[in-house]
Amino acid sequence: MPRKSIRPLILLNAGLLVALAGVTFMPSAVAQLRPRSTYTMVGGTVNGIVQGVCYITDETTNEVVAISWYENQKRLVGLGYRNMSMDAAQAAKTR
């Protein structure tokens, strides 16, 4: 192989090595301050609604949201939200 065709390859490899080192030694960004959540999803029904309802529970924050898919509008619609920790605290006060 002629020496002229090897030089660009060496320069390209050196440039890639510098880019790899730059990415490797950069400080990393942390986007979440709390631990990863665990979710549970359960299907169900609600009186007065023809479509099914999906209840999604965030087990880390003890929050529940109910959503339903409306086919004619082609979108998810939120039906309700509850904070189970607050509900439990309120139920304990009434006893």
Tell the residue number behind the tokens 């030694």, with chain if given: 25
Find residue 44's DSSP bridge partners: 53
Under the banding of pLDDT at 50, 70 and 90, the label for residue 54 is very high
**What is the reported pTM?**
0.57
> Which is more confident, 67 or 24?
67
Under the banding of pLDDT at 50, 70 and 90, the label for residue 46 is confident
pLDDT of residue 63 exceeding 90, the answer is yes
Domain hosting 24: range is: 3-94
* Domain count along the chain: 1
Give me the pLDDT at residue 34, please. 65
Please report the beta strands in 13-74, taking only residues with DSSP state E, as ranges in sequence order. Answer: 39-44, 53-58, 63-70
- Distance in angstroms between the alpha carbons of the first and the last residue of the chain: 88
